[in-house]
Amino acid sequence: MERLNEGLSLFDAILIVPMFQIVWTFFSICTGFVYFQEYQVFDTLRIIMCVLGMTFVFVGISLLAPDDSKGKMVQAPPRTP
């Protein structure tokens, strides 16, 4: 959560939140894949469908961030010790 707060202080939320959602989804899929030992039953079709499904999810989430907000940087206030 510290990285999310730091990102929100530096950039616009419309850019950070979809990126956070992509990372959260990716690592949730990876940890579920390992924890539930999904790799033992994966054949070629399941691998293709899993990659295709993740691609659709990531593209859909990335479409939530508008193009005009990319590259804009909000100035963070100076940190005090």
Return the residue matching tokens 């999904």: 38
- Are 14 and 72 spatial neighbours (Cβ–Cβ below 8 Å)? no
Q: Which helix (H) or strand (E) holds 36?
A: none
Predicted structure pTM score: 0.66
pLDDT for 79 beyond 80: no
pLDDT at residue number 56? 93
Residue 60: the pLDDT is: 86
Query: When comparing pLDDT for 31 and 65, which is higher?
Result: 31
Condensed to tens digits (0 to 9), the pLDDT of residues 33-77 reads 999 998 899 899 999 999 999 899 888 877 877 666 555 555 666
SS3 content of the chain, % helix, strand, coil (to 5): 70, 0, 30
